[in-house]
Structure 1
């Protein structure tokens, strides 16, 4: 029997408690040590370690750059034990002028481009050093301004935060995703932020509205336009959350539209691809040509050539803003690690107030550190002056005593530090002029001590010092705003019919419900090829940018853009795949034209009316019920009504009865059963012995064609009197041999 496992002294813990604690620890690590920035310097740990490592390598703005691999090696070897590629990407981001509003690293070599930010060369090829702006983060590092902690292996120390002289978090912004938290702080203009800080120092109770008189809104490195309404921007600054709308800027040169700036983090190649895709799909006929003329002098220069000078440029650009990345939304979510080490959401006032508290603490620590150095030096100078005033006795003690330090301390009342300084004096420093130098240095340091003490003891002087330093840095590193803030109307995409080239087309419908669009109006639909067992049913002439409509046997009408129908080079596509007609219903006709065009709709029961196309439109797959058809009946092929003409309507039944009457006798309806066109006895209709076969609209002085299966008879205008009568009459019989009519047509 095996021995039982001895668990004496082993801590027991519930799995639930262990996993909860482990997950919370992990999430806090990600939040505090990886994803979220610290409010003091606005940097994530990896960014801070890169900047500090570069300063330790002596890579200041005026030094010779070194291979980026050297920096990355130092960072991951000394401070950041993570992957080198992730570290290098963080480094690249701080060097890209189009990613950081005030880039921190000066990169030499290929550091990526706006078209492809990740196209940077490997770190073994690029070189880097710090930019002058980095001085605002590092200048006070050695002045006792921040706390230091051991690195991951305890062999050296690293700063907890850099003593930033400027609110770098607002200036460069940041993005990050942690566990349960994310941050998106947009970048801002240095001069505007400093102006707001100065105002807040003078008036700590200033409102967000007061601060917005200085900070107009975010300022992105790629420029462009910020088109969000003022109220939306203010809401973001008041709550710390919201979205911003960014838009490209453009100008018109010799009829061409030239895009000169793109929204933040949008590549020109992506925009060109989106516009080109619309052109390929024939959804952008307003554009004739598209090209990229970007170069070193003009990093962004995308040229769009409109089809003609008649194209409304503003309307076209509004469409492109709505359908491409020329306009985008940027999220703002200001979750930041506060001074107490806890992450929380800040509004603009809270963020600046918190940073000013950090700056006040940093400056106070710097002044105290300097005051301590001054006092230590003055203490030593006091001892040296005592030695010079008693130089002969000091020399005698040093020469005669085995241990001169305690003797000097007792004889002249010196401290150990003073005595040590005297013993370390060189002979050359015993010159008579040295006493004068000491007294001069004492005077300078005493004046400096007095000045520092006055600042430390006066909150007003401390505020003035902070303000002056902010203004100095604004003068040194500030620049003009790049992103223009202007309120614009919401971009609207053009209607699909406005985007499709207007070309003549003939919509052809087969007996089995297959539809296609043939180019031109001279197409002979009978000459087209049809599937076996299928044949021509109806055709309608219109334009490619119009809606093609189809009526089924139940009287429902369906709509589709004409340009989306397949070409007549093939056999078309079944409408049942596009629409959802009722069970057993088949398609009976097609219509197309302008919204105000009129068509005659009729059922085989002999009833019908005139309808405007605009009343028939339906984007619903189930169509729109328009014509009321008797049970077991069906609609007949609709007939177009010529515009601005006195017309006659012809109706023919399946036994060859033809009636021609005035069009004014037929009402115009949006839907319904309509009025009786041709009198068909109900008994004969119900028995299936007679139905309405076809209708046609004959313009004044026009001709009527009567089509049978084998031949066509033309009735000239003067011959129509034989069949003319009042609406709803029985009509006259056609000649023997012409009574099996398939359809009617008229000269249009």
Structure 2
């Protein structure tokens, strides 16, 4: 076979391949269908359970069996994603209407995961069987080949209500994501009915029925006035906060009880909330907290925060709203697959797509039912007619040599070869004109059908069939009749499964938290060589001054209302509020400095620390590993941001020393290879913080600046170098940018 090489641009191949991959993820995995509100994996799990007969009125089956069967037949993407989809469909704290009835440990609202699939069992919920899968045998939806074309699966399930709204959906595709909140089934049903009665209804009118999201966790939506725009456009932010009650505690104390949480808090965020509340107390943001306890159980959420007797409860609750996730935002982006492509839809568009799907499904359903009833009518009329001439039929059967001869007589009136008792019978037989289906039914009819009561039942059955035919023709011919049928089914679903709304929809002003003014006082910042920081009282420092200076890398005074500035080897300046640093006793351990700052990957991360107030009064000397240096006015570091660039660095360079200029007369640079260069501080130029600076010392090979020393009033006159004392006075004073003197001791 001749080889055929196609030359093309590599970028074009990559672009096409990536687009194909992206569309596969968008359409076939991550986004729900607007018609049934299900992602492909969810649809396949439900259909597989239906096929396996794991229905609501039958015993539970192992989840592993369901997952394995689904993966082998319909969803070849790994068992973990299938089991995760199954688990989510059982969790009543995530879904407004769970679709699967789980038996065993399927996780909880606090973020604990489900047990392994080999330990749990599941079966379909009753509503899933009745409203999602009941009409699959009536040819209401298209069936498509599975991944290896050995099975058929439904392209969409014939859901009888807008499941996309009721259960919501979350998913991340390629370049897009969907986030649809759950809603109340009863409200959605009423909105669908209103749309069917008036397709020109506005979103504002629909929201008389759908008040807003109805989260399974309850809570309070606080921006009611913004919901209309969100439901018109299909995107926006819904502010939701938890429900807080106040109870009397022991010894006259006050208990703040959280009984409902914001929907985004479910999972590990409950633990984070408890940690955040504890942190408020540890960092002295509030001193009202006596105890925190999580008393949540299967009955519901109950988080109790015990406060002091004289606590300002309203201000404390507002602090929880501002400083923790007790008030959170749910980002709405109602993106789903509509007509084969992703589309962001508002409330009315989602309802419209579902209603159109309902009419399409109903049309196919009643067309199929009408065809079945007409077939039954044909057979019933043939049997009734045969019963009226039963003697003749029996005579034909007894006189025929085989089934084909008897059938030919019944259908076409052929009497050749058939023995009749009389000529009249033969003439009557020649006039019979049964249809092919009627003839088959007559030939298969049992004798007990000739009993009088059975004949009456057949006539009654025929009357019911005629009534059904009339009803189905009316439904198919008149849109109003079909709409009424859909509305009746919605009413039945609402009566059986709707529950009262859990989430309140209100307009609430933003929480205002007034921080108690901290009495300004002088404290001492301490940080040891391991990076643990704390502040202590000035008096405590004076009592332990020698130990504090020996055990800590940094020890300096600052105001408790001020900030601490920390310079790192990467040239970053991190500012930390002193109030964020734990204040305690001298022997307290403190907290890691990177827990209360924005440190990110800095090794040897602290090269200098000072109070921001001090920096405003002085200038700073910067020295880097490659001997670049400069003097910067400390006022340039009076910034509000938590992290800024303190200096500009060359490639592969890093800061070695940052020092406050306060009386130093000379600077000594020590290189790793033992060269010392001493020169006057006056030779260092003043630059802006975003400048690289000037070279202070000539370095050769892989040599670099290792240490920086200063001389002046009150400063050490020597240093211990290679276990011997080096006297700075014996070093010759040179000029900046020299090689220096190599010291051999």
Same fold (TM over 0.5): yes
Q: Is residue 466 of structure 2 the alignment partner of residue 471 of structure 1?
A: no
Distance 1:172 1:481 in 2: 14
Cα offset, 1:370, TM superposition: 1.0
Q: What is the correspondence of 1:607-622 to structure 2 with a 5 Å cutoff?
A: none
Match of 1:283 among 282, 285, 288: 285
Cα offset, 1:367, TM superposition: 1.3
Q: Is the contact made by 2:522 and 2:560 (CA closer than 8 Å) also made in structure 1?
A: no
Q: Is the contact made by 2:564 and 2:610 (CA closer than 8 Å) also made in structure 1?
A: no
Match of 1:182 among 177, 195, 204: 177
77-86 vs 278-287, which deviates more?
A: 278-287
Deviations 1:545-580 (A, max 9, x none): 656999xxxxxxx99747849778499998636467
Aligned to 1:413: 433
Q: What is the correspondence of 1:338-737 to structure 2 with a 5 Å cutoff?
A: 338=338, 340-401=339-400, 402=402, 403=404, 404-411=406-413, 412-492=432-512, 494-495=514-515, 497-498=516-517, 507=523, 519=537, 525=542, 528-529=545-546, 561=578, 564=581, 569=586, 576=610, 578=612, 581=615
Distance 1:6 1:292, change over 3 A: same
Distance 2:88 2:211 in 1: 26
Q: Is the contact made by 2:556 and 2:610 (CA closer than 8 Å) also made in structure 1?
A: no
Larger Rg: 1
Q: Is the contact made by 1:560 and 1:619 (CA closer than 8 Å) also made in structure 2?
A: no
Q: Secondary structure at the match of 2:136?
A: coil
Distance 1:395 1:13, change over 3 A: farther
Cα offset, 1:216, TM superposition: 0.7
Distance 1:482 1:97, change over 3 A: same
Distance 1:317 1:378, change over 3 A: same
Distance 2:165 2:563 in 1: 55
Distance 2:138 2:525 in 1: 86
Deviations 1:659-688 (A, max 9, x none): xxxxxxxxxxxxxxxxxxxxxxxxxxxxxx
Cα offset, 1:90, TM superposition: 0.4
Deviations 1:203-246 (A, max 9, x none): 1111111011111100111111111x223211110101111112
Distance 1:509 1:223, change over 3 A: closer
Deviations 1:322-342 (A, max 9, x none): 22221221111111111x222
Q: Is the contact made by 1:323 and 1:493 (CA closer than 8 Å) also made in structure 2?
A: no
Distance 1:261 1:394, change over 3 A: same
Q: Is the contact made by 1:41 and 1:168 (CA closer than 8 Å) also made in structure 2?
A: yes
Distance 1:305 1:453, change over 3 A: same
Q: Is the contact made by 1:103 and 1:131 (CA closer than 8 Å) also made in structure 2?
A: yes
Q: Secondary structure at the match of 2:138?
A: coil
TM-score (norm 1): 0.69
150-159 vs 235-244, which deviates more?
A: 150-159
Deviations 1:368-410 (A, max 9, x none): 1111111010011111122111212212222222222122111
Q: Is residue 246 of structure 2 the alignment partner of residue 249 of structure 1?
A: no
Aligned to 1:688: none
Deviations 1:99-134 (A, max 9, x none): 1110000101000011115x2111111111111221
Distance 1:160 1:618 in 2: 59
Aligned to 1:136: 131
Distance 1:115 1:222 in 2: 12
Q: Is the contact made by 1:508 and 1:525 (CA closer than 8 Å) also made in structure 2?
A: no
Distance 1:620 1:353 in 2: 49
Aligned to 1:121: 115
Q: Is the contact made by 1:518 and 1:568 (CA closer than 8 Å) also made in structure 2?
A: yes
Aligned to 1:294: 296
Q: Secondary structure at the match of 1:329?
A: strand
Distance 1:38 1:584, change over 3 A: closer
Q: Is the contact made by 1:517 and 1:562 (CA closer than 8 Å) also made in structure 2?
A: no
Q: Is residue 3 of structure 2 the alignment partner of residue 7 of structure 1?
A: yes
Cα offset, 1:189, TM superposition: 0.3
Distance 1:337 1:29 in 2: 12
Aligned to 2:86: 91
Q: Is the contact made by 1:99 and 1:265 (CA closer than 8 Å) also made in structure 2?
A: no
Aligned to 1:705: none
Aligned to 1:600: none
Deviations 1:163-187 (A, max 9, x none): 1111111000001111222211111
Distance 2:42 2:234 in 1: 23
Distance 2:355 2:441 in 1: 40
Distance 1:621 1:441 in 2: 83
Distance 2:500 2:475 in 1: 33
Cα offset, 1:486, TM superposition: 1.8
Distance 1:58 1:82 in 2: 23
Cα offset, 1:22, TM superposition: 2.5
Cα offset, 1:433, TM superposition: 3.0
Distance 2:512 2:455 in 1: 82
Distance 1:581 1:364, change over 3 A: same
Cα offset, 1:12, TM superposition: 5.8
Cα offset, 1:345, TM superposition: 1.4
121-130 vs 265-274, which deviates more?
A: 265-274
Cα offset, 1:295, TM superposition: 2.2
Q: Is the contact made by 1:248 and 1:261 (CA closer than 8 Å) also made in structure 2?
A: yes
Distance 1:619 1:237, change over 3 A: closer
Report the number of matched residues: 562
Q: What is the correspondence of 1:81-230 to structure 2 with a 5 Å cutoff?
A: 81-117=76-112, 119-134=113-128, 135-227=130-222, 229-230=223-224
Q: Is the contact made by 1:506 and 1:517 (CA closer than 8 Å) also made in structure 2?
A: no
Distance 1:20 1:416, change over 3 A: farther
RMSD: 3.5
Distance 2:260 2:486 in 1: 36
Distance 1:151 1:523, change over 3 A: closer
Q: Secondary structure at the match of 2:348?
A: helix
Q: Is the contact made by 1:114 and 1:265 (CA closer than 8 Å) also made in structure 2?
A: no
Q: Is residue 317 of structure 2 the alignment partner of residue 323 of structure 1?
A: no
Q: Is residue 337 of structure 2 the alignment partner of residue 337 of structure 1?
A: yes
Q: Is the contact made by 1:579 and 1:621 (CA closer than 8 Å) also made in structure 2?
A: no
Distance 1:21 1:584, change over 3 A: closer
Deviations 1:408-453 (A, max 9, x none): 1112212221111111112222323332222111111111111221
Distance 1:271 1:563 in 2: 18
Structure 2 unaligned segments of length 5 or more: list them. Answer: 249-253, 414-431, 527-532, 566-574, 591-605, 621-637, 644-660, 664-745
Q: Is the contact made by 2:448 and 2:454 (CA closer than 8 Å) also made in structure 1?
A: no
Cα offset, 1:471, TM superposition: 1.3
Cα offset, 1:528, TM superposition: 4.0
Distance 1:22 1:374 in 2: 51
Aligned to 2:276: 274
TM-score (norm 2): 0.69
Aligned to 2:13: 18
Q: Secondary structure at the match of 1:321?
A: helix
Distance 2:362 2:69 in 1: 30
Distance 1:252 1:204, change over 3 A: same
Q: Is the contact made by 2:221 and 2:238 (CA closer than 8 Å) also made in structure 1?
A: yes
Structure 1 unaligned segments of length 5 or more: list them. Answer: 551-557, 587-616, 623-631, 635-748
Aligned to 2:598: none
